[in-house]
Structure formats: structure tokens, C-alpha cells
Structure 1
């Protein structure tokens, strides 16, 4: 892989990593972790009593496959779970329900579970259709985001981040989207979906010359609205980089960054995300 391409990828990865830090908290994005490795099979048996254990780390539920996480790695098609730091009596799990997996694309849903941390008793669940279905832009990571999203006096949300990547060298592409969920009236429901919190794309000659665009967004809770829900303040930084070959044969980068603030008011029991902040379909 050309050194210049590696350099650009490192820049994009740094932006993506930075966006995982919500401005009012410490980093709280986590994938599988030890909890899934040691208790994953028990979680599956609690939530899917008819699941058949077909291998050491694989279950079948009808025509869908559930994979438990390995001790190491960050596979988006494996179970992830985490104790909710703001409510440690609860555990969160995201179950990948895969119907097909191949080099050409994958098909699958994600089912979110809220369980009691000690007993693993299932309290709420919510199925998200086609969240792991991909083709040109493949899902590369799924992680919980448990920043302190205090939406109102009684509603505390947790997040789920989905990272997608392209496979083209001349046209690099990456995007991380965030969903927020609350437990309300003994059910789990989404309150914000598909907002892009990190993204990059570009076109270059795989040597030096090219144009790249990167987006980073951070979320913070604003003042409460009349219905009791706080607005969400989104600070967005868009960076454009033009790379050209200098006289000495080295690459020269010219960068231009613009910062914008968006405010997402609550509409009843959810937040409206404008189309220009949503993920690429």
C-alpha cells in the first residue's frame, strides 16, 4: 500500500476516534469486552430459549446465526454487551442475527436487549431490521456508547454506533452513525437515529494528488424544551484537504476547516435528524 495512502487513512482514523468522545464525558464507546466472553452463552439462552448451540461459539435460531465473541477481536457480526455505567444494575446486549455472510455482502438484523446484570433476566428488547445488511459499504464495527445522555429528568439514553467502510483505494470512504435509545414505559424505543458522528471520503491518484473531505460531530445536551426534553447541540467540523505534489517531490496538504453548530429539538418523544446529518444510503 503506498505510504501516502497509509498517511491519509491514519488521518481519517484519528478523526473517527476523536468523534467517539462526547464533549461532556470521558470516552465511553466499547465493543464486546469480557462480559460477553464469559456470559454470552447465558445471555443467548435467556433471550432465545429455542436457540440451538451448533458449535462452541455459534447458535442457530431458525435460519439466523448468532456468534459469540472471541476473547480478542472486534467483529461486528458477534455479540456485544456491556454493563450500563449510569445504571449498573442493567446490562446492554446487541445480538447480531445473521441470515447470510459472504465477501459480496451480508444480511442481518440487530436485536437490542436490556437485562438485569446479576440474573440476566430479560427486561426489554428491540429488533432493528437490516442494520447489518451491507454490500459496497461494509459494516466494520458495532459498539455501545454509554455517554451520559440525560434527555430529561426521567429519561437517560444509551447509544449504539455503527461504523461502515468502503473498499476502494482511490476513493476511500468511512462513516460512523449513532442511534440513541431509552427505556420508557417498560419498553425500549429509539429517540434518535442515523446521525453521522464521523465520516470521510475522497478521491486521489493513490500516490499524492487528491481531494479529501472529513466530518466530525460531537453531541451535548442543551437546555430543556417546553416538553421537558433537552435539545441536543451538535458541533460539526468539516475539513477539506487538497493534496498536491510539491516541487521537491513531496506532498503538500492545504486544509480548510469550517465549524457549524446545529440544534436538534425534541419532537414529542424523539429527535428529528435533518437529512444532511444522516448517513449515506
Structure 2
């Protein structure tokens, strides 16, 4: 009888979100405190009620969270009080124009609202960020680790995780964007960097090859500019699984660590192509 005691299960568990800070920076996505409907009504006064419980606005549907619980619906509105500026609350509003088992189409609008009176201070629409097909959007989360750009300027992050459905060719990734307040608007300062990715190809029993990469962001003083640099520490583990002579599934792992420095060019941080989400 074959014994596969060392089969890797890494690619069938949720992706761990890696970046500056710890889990607390990614927690609290249900902080609408029962006020999601009020927030959306203020931000979209012409929205109407749909039969399925969603709101309709300019041909797109908006799904309110169920109570204050995170129910795993990536298309629902999320809220997060911003720890760096608790007088402000961050809102992500998925605006879906199509939803089906085969593909979804939609945008995300980011809102920054007054935590007390819910007045919208800033807003920014991100076109196509909720669109998917083979690789489905599985989660949307704010990242409120302290991305300190300058002494009086802090950014916040938005992370989107996607997964493939193939067991033989597992795939998952988490992508990060950073935004900063500028006057009455929101400005993207870091665009589309993949902070976690995993993929592989195997026979669904043992034999196969896998790769997992995590990227951690650290803010460091810049020698050339008033805005901090970002050091990206990249850790990649590649694994090859084979059936050994003892009929166990044996894994050979190789880990590499690399560092890159992203510099602010006066408008945003430049992200190399190979660190960005492809599609």
C-alpha cells in the first residue's frame, strides 16, 4: 500500500496576507457598526432598493454587509476605522454590473467618511477591480498598517485576494494598493503589487512542483527625497514532490530571499513589472 505522509496542502488553504504590520492591521473589516446603509445612502442618494436586497446605483448593484459580521462575501461593502486617524472611517464599495458562476464585472469605490457624522470626505473609483473570470476574487480587505510616507502623511492599503479553482494547477495571489489623502481627494501612491502568490502543477496525488512567494513591505528613510522609500523583502520557496523508494511523498524545498527598494518619484512609487498582477 502506498503511503503519502508528506503531501503538501499549502495550496488548499487561504492565503496568508503578508505586509507591513500584523493581523491587527487587516482585522476589523466589519466596522460599519450597523451604519452601512446610512453610509451608502449618504454617498449614493439616488440609489434604489432591489428585490434581492441589494441597492441599485447607475446600473450596478451594491451589497450591504449582513449585520456587523464578515460573511465571506467579497462583493459586500466593508468598513474599517482608520487607526492612524480614528476620526475617519474607510469604506470599500464593490459596484457590480455582472455576477455569475463564470465571471464577474465590477468596480470598487473607496470612501473616506467622518467617523461621527458619516459625511463623505474623499472618494475614488477604481475601475474593473472586481472583475474576474477563471481566477475569482475571494476577499477584499483594508490594510491599515502604518505606511508612514512622511511625518504628517500616512497611507492606507487595500488588498484583493484571488484564487483559481483547478486542483491540478492551484493558484492564489494577494495584491496591494496604497492610497493617501490629498486635499479633497484620494491619491494612489502604490499601484498593484503582488504581496503573496502561490502556484503549482501536480498529479493531485504527490508528484509535482510548487512555488510560494511572500513580499513584506517596510518603510525606510530616503536619502534623496522627503518621502520614505519602501523596501520589499521577497521570500520564495520552490518545492518538488516525488514518490520515494519508501512510497512516501517526499519534498525537496529551496528558499531564496531578495530585497528591492521602491522610490517615490514625486507622484507614486514605481513598481517593477514582475511584481505586478498580470491581469
Residue in structure 2 matched with residue 60 of structure 1 by the alignment? 56
Q: 1:224-239 counterparts in 2 under 5 A?
A: 224-239=222-237
SS of 1:151's partner is strand
Per-residue CA deviations over 1:69-117 (Å, capped at 9, x if unaligned) read 1234121100001100110000000001000100110000000000000
Residue in structure 2 matched with residue 192 of structure 1 by the alignment? 190
- In the alignment, the residues of structure 2 paired with residue 231 and residue 12 of structure 1 have an alpha-carbon distance, to the nearest angstrom, of 35
Which of the pair has the greater relative contact order for Cα pairs under 8 Å at 6+ separation?
Answer: 2
Residue in structure 1 matched with residue 253 of structure 2 by the alignment? 255
Residue in structure 1 matched with residue 206 of structure 2 by the alignment? 208
Asked if 1 retains the 8 angstrom alpha-carbon contact of 2:11 and 2:171, the reply is no
Q: Verify: 1:29 aligned to 2:29, yes or no.
A: no
Residue in structure 1 matched with residue 8 of structure 2 by the alignment? 8
Q: 1:1-281 counterparts in 2 under 5 A?
A: 8-10=8-10, 13=13, 16-17=15-16, 19-22=17-20, 24=21, 27-30=24-27, 32-33=29-30, 35-36=31-32, 38-55=34-51, 57-70=53-66, 71-281=69-279
Asked if 2 retains the 8 angstrom alpha-carbon contact of 1:152 and 1:230, the reply is yes
Per-residue CA deviations over 1:117-138 (Å, capped at 9, x if unaligned) read 0100000000000000001111
What 5-or-longer segments of structure 1 have no aligned partner? none
> CA 1:225–1:115 in structure 2 vs 1: closer, same or farther (change >3 Å)?
farther
**Residue 225 (structure 1) shift:** 4.3
- In the alignment, the residues of structure 2 paired with residue 125 and residue 220 of structure 1 have an alpha-carbon distance, to the nearest angstrom, of 26
> CA 1:119–1:7 in structure 2 vs 1: closer, same or farther (change >3 Å)?
farther
The number of residues matched between the two structures is: 274
What 5-or-longer segments of structure 2 have no aligned partner? none
Asked if 2 retains the 8 angstrom alpha-carbon contact of 1:20 and 1:29, the reply is no
Q: What TM-score comes out, normalization by structure 1 length?
A: 0.92
Q: What TM-score comes out, normalization by structure 2 length?
A: 0.93
More helix by share: 1
SS of 2:42's partner is helix
**Residue 11 (structure 1) shift:** 5.8
> CA 1:12–1:273 in structure 2 vs 1: closer, same or farther (change >3 Å)?
farther
